Chains A and B, each alone.
With several copies, the nearest count.
Chain A
């Protein structure tokens, strides 16, 4: 047994040193200024035209999708929606810095990462309309996407649970010897959960190649960040876990891309977690069930609207000469139509057969669920009008 000494790195002092807030300055990486110009002493990441356009288009597409789906919810076509307006750069540009083999474990406001991976408008709709084409088989509320083929873990509502799960997933990737990492998205609110603490500490001790990506958007529903924590954001916690940490301007796509690329490099090379705190702002309501006028001012929102991440990035793309007006317009109008069409199609697709009420609880249906579904079917047959969605499928 090796002798251990947990004091080996500890220095000694002879008067009381109180370690206080502000002892560490954790600056935020910015590459584009608020107007989208490259900052003088900053370097833009190496990123080709195609990828640049894909990032921009994904952000615009998601903004559009959000608008349409918020409207669809108002019209009563879907029951619930959750927009990511204002945070498009944080999620799109981070996803763009990953490899397709990397697992994405998200909170719920990262639809842009999923779109970037290639989730289609139809797929979005099938999930949100809980129809039989939804891979979740209509079991979860709208926005709880997931796609095994795209390495995007199905979303779960309980906050923070995906954080230690991401550590475990990444540990498995390491054991298996894949060259992939896991990225785990969460809000600054969710970072208050005990699971955050467990997940980061375990990842650090067990050397898991995972990127913890915190979207600090200032609010958890109505609770502002200053009632959520008293420290310097989430980044300052990395120090306590011995986790390498980068703070980044979440509204600067280039900065997010750079930071995530760097984080991925470190995670893979050193088999260790990296924490990224992306400073951004939730311009949207928390969800369609929320009304932010109850807890924040229009003026505050307006200030942030000026820092719109899409415009900022678009100007840089334009400066690069990579902005293709025509392609852009085509993409937008195509998307608009595709969304409209997909809504119309998806809402007409039936829900899953009643058997899917009991499938997937276990690998096979056990005796008691078999009894319950048999009884239920007989009941539906007796009262078909009361169960219109499934009656016609019951023989």
Chain B
């Protein structure tokens, strides 16, 4: 075990996997010698050479197009998109190509070995274009997996699982936790399962569901509610696609209430899918409407970031509303 922050855990996972599997190739804007603007790829070029860790020209569509071809050839590309806000030029390559590669060829060719890493999310005074949480844009795309860790331990285990998984994975890193989140991380090799939620705290009155950096927010709200005598089941979804509906449904069958929190705007966010599925699976158990505590339906603001964010206070209030329904 070793104390690591989230960046170190990711760096550790990359080094481990590049050692274990010589077909792993890491690239993206500034990831080479410099080690990435957040330094997640520090020392990789030094250790593994320029052929296996390199800078690309500044073109996200090119990075993912290149990665798709490389994956289909048999390598294990781990491509970095510098900020999730800049993943959209690659949207076609991801949604029309990566995700459909295997299906359209009847399984002859695949991009299953591809992992796309990208830092996402707000809370860092980044405004419109350094704060977005675009997971829902990709969650409507059969063929993709989407994974989001909440801390360094989760990050290492989930990233190793993502690289090894035989499906393309979009691995989204909560950048406001990069240095802020620190915990004990095993130095050895381990993986955590994709597609499985993680029950962080067990409770009986309401289920609180989130992922990534918002886990801290709902945990804080759960504590406040706890002080009022409300007992919360706190769940980290971890995988957005495919997602662990059964785990959530089981919890909701127990608690009768569900609150989902995410940073992205409410409309069309992934909470809508969860709510739609759970109201179906748990209709007779629900004692109140499923609550969504999300970003507002605006571009991500700057001066009003605090007001925009689905923080612990809004979550706490929504818990109370749901219980008082």
Given that A158-B129, A192-B62, A362-B143 are contacting pairs, would A369 and B296 also be in contact in the complex, using a CB cutoff of 8 Å? yes
Q: Is the CB of A192 within 8 A of B59?
A: yes
Restricting to A137-189, which residues have a CB under 8 Å from any CB of B?
A: 137-141, 144, 146-148, 153-154, 156-159, 161-173, 175-176, 182, 189
- Kindly specify which of B92-100, B229-237, B256-264 makes contact with the partner chain: B92-100
How many of chain A's residues have a CB under 8 angstroms from any CB in B?
A: 90
Q: Is B283 an interface residue (CB 8 A)?
A: no
Given that A141-B126, A202-B66 are contacting pairs, would A173 and B73 also be in contact in the complex, using a CB cutoff of 8 Å? yes
Q: Is the CB of A172 within 8 A of B61?
A: no
* Inter-chain contacts of A363 with B (CB < 8 A): 102, 110, 112, 166-167
* Inter-chain contacts of B77 with A (CB < 8 A): 168
> How distant is B168 from chain A, measured CB to nearest CB, in Å?
10
Nearest CB to that of B27 among chain A residues?
A206
Residue among A156, A168, A351 making CB contact with B304, cutoff 8 Å: A351
* Inter-chain contacts of A162 with B (CB < 8 A): 69
Q: Is A33 an interface residue (CB 8 A)?
A: no
Q: Is A358 an interface residue (CB 8 A)?
A: yes
Question: How far apart are the CA atoms of A149 and B195 in the complex, in Å?
Answer: 33
> How distant is A312 from chain B, measured CB to nearest CB, in Å?
29
> How distant is A212 from chain B, measured CB to nearest CB, in Å?
13
Question: How far apart are the CA atoms of A348 and B273 in the complex, in Å?
Answer: 41
The 8 A CB mask of A37-53 against B (1 = contact, 0 = none) is: 00000000000000000
Question: How far apart are the CA atoms of A220 and B86 in the complex, in Å?
Answer: 15
What 3 pairs across the A-B complex have the smallest Cβ distances? Answer: A164-B65, A198-B62, A168-B69
Q: Is A270 an interface residue (CB 8 A)?
A: no
* Inter-chain contacts of B88 with A (CB < 8 A): 158
Given that A153-B109, A202-B59, A357-B296 are contacting pairs, would A368 and B245 also be in contact in the complex, using a CB cutoff of 8 Å? yes
> How distant is A394 from chain B, measured CB to nearest CB, in Å?
10
Given that A165-B72, A372-B296, A376-B307 are contacting pairs, would A199 and B102 also be in contact in the complex, using a CB cutoff of 8 Å? no
* Inter-chain contacts of A134 with B (CB < 8 A): 106
Question: How far apart are the CA atoms of A383 and B70 in the complex, in Å?
Answer: 44
Q: Is A359 an interface residue (CB 8 A)?
A: yes
Restricting to B21-76, which residues have a CB under 8 Å from any CB of A?
A: 25, 29-30, 32-35, 37, 51-52, 54-62, 64-75
Question: How far apart are the CA atoms of A230 and B30 in the complex, in Å?
Answer: 17
* Inter-chain contacts of A295 with B (CB < 8 A): 33-34
* Inter-chain contacts of B288 with A (CB < 8 A): none
* Inter-chain contacts of B69 with A (CB < 8 A): 105, 162, 164-172, 182
Q: Is the CB of B97 within 8 A of A169?
A: no
Residue among A172, A379, A380 making CB contact with B74, cutoff 8 Å: A172
Given that A137-B106, A169-B70, A368-B245 are contacting pairs, would A357 and B304 also be in contact in the complex, using a CB cutoff of 8 Å? yes
The 8 A CB mask of A314-357 against B (1 = contact, 0 = none) is: 00000000000000000000000000000000000001101011
Given that A158-B85, A158-B129 are contacting pairs, would A289 and B304 also be in contact in the complex, using a CB cutoff of 8 Å? no
A-B contact pairs, 28 of them (CB 8 A): A105-B69, A130-B302, A136-B105, A136-B108, A137-B107, A141-B127, A146-B109, A157-B85, A158-B86, A171-B70, A176-B74, A176-B75, A192-B58, A195-B61, A201-B57, A206-B56, A222-B55, A223-B57, A227-B57, A294-B33, A295-B33, A361-B103, A362-B143, A363-B167, A369-B297, A369-B298, A379-B317, A389-B306
* Inter-chain contacts of A169 with B (CB < 8 A): 69-70, 72-73
Question: How far apart are the CA atoms of A319 and B245 in the complex, in Å?
Answer: 72
Q: Is B192 an interface residue (CB 8 A)?
A: no
* Inter-chain contacts of A182 with B (CB < 8 A): 69
* Inter-chain contacts of A380 with B (CB < 8 A): 307
* Inter-chain contacts of A171 with B (CB < 8 A): 66, 69-70
Q: Is A242 an interface residue (CB 8 A)?
A: no
Q: Is A118 an interface residue (CB 8 A)?
A: no
Given that A165-B68, A165-B97, A368-B267 are contacting pairs, would A221 and B29 also be in contact in the complex, using a CB cutoff of 8 Å? yes
Q: Is B104 an interface residue (CB 8 A)?
A: yes
Q: Is the CB of A138 within 8 A of B65?
A: no
* Inter-chain contacts of A383 with B (CB < 8 A): 313
Question: How far apart are the CA atoms of A138 and B77 in the complex, in Å?
Answer: 29
Nearest CB to that of B108 among chain A residues?
A148
Q: Is A228 an interface residue (CB 8 A)?
A: yes
Question: How far apart are the CA atoms of A138 and B167 in the complex, in Å?
Answer: 22
Q: Is the CB of A172 within 8 A of B70?
A: yes
Q: Is B193 an interface residue (CB 8 A)?
A: no
Nearest CB to that of A138 among chain B residues?
B303
